[in-house]
Structure 1
């Protein structure tokens, strides 16, 4: 699936079946269901991609302290980009 196809899927009632769980979480986030996305992030804590997703979601929430905690757990730092840019980068990374 391409990035453009994924973005087009945001109009569908559910995430595409062929995407990974972390990409499905970003689909939920883009559709305003932060809770569903967060539940996915929590489902495999200690896994780098899930921890990075968790960090991004807490950044979305505005909880920068918690976001920084999860970025550190993922071996990353909070990016110097907008949330939209980070969402796009994560989708492209995990597709």
Structure 2
């Protein structure tokens, strides 16, 4: 299993799954690609990432909708902290 730093430094070609691919794009500053990737799947992991992306965008009400879809509480920490926690949690599933 890879850690968060290796994930971010690695190649997108190595990343499997829409949620992790969206997080890879987000970590590299490409919000649009991240958002498109998050929308490719309707599972809870992608919804969770979708919530983070709307937080990052500043659209809190839309983010809260996606947290509900993901079955997760609204995250109250920083966006960077949540991204690290998401990547770590999703890497643990791979």
Measured against the shorter chain, the TM-score band is 0.7 to 0.9
TM-score (norm 1): 0.84
- Distance, in Å, in 1 between the alignment partners of 2:67 and 2:15 is 27
What SS does the corresponding residue of 1:76 show, helix, strand or coil? coil
Comparing both structures, which one devotes a greater share of its residues to helix?
A: 2
Relative to structure 2, which stretch is displaced further, 62-71 or 31-40? 31-40
- Distance, in Å, in 1 between the alignment partners of 2:25 and 2:15 is 15
Question: Is the counterpart of residue 30 in structure 1 residue 27 in structure 2?
Answer: yes
- Structure 2: which 5+ runs fail to align? none
Change in 2 beyond 3 A, CA 1:53/1:59: same
Change in 2 beyond 3 A, CA 1:29/1:18: closer
- Structure 1: which 5+ runs fail to align? none
- The structural deviation recorded for 1:20 is 3.1
Question: Is the counterpart of residue 6 in structure 1 residue 3 in structure 2?
Answer: no
Change in 2 beyond 3 A, CA 1:62/1:4: same
> Is the CA contact 2:8–2:27 (under 8 Å) kept in the aligned structure 1?
no
Q: Spell out the pairing of 1:55-70 with structure 2 (5 A cutoff).
A: 55-70=51-66
- The structural deviation recorded for 1:43 is 1.0
Q: Which runs of 4+ in 1 moved over 6 A?
A: none
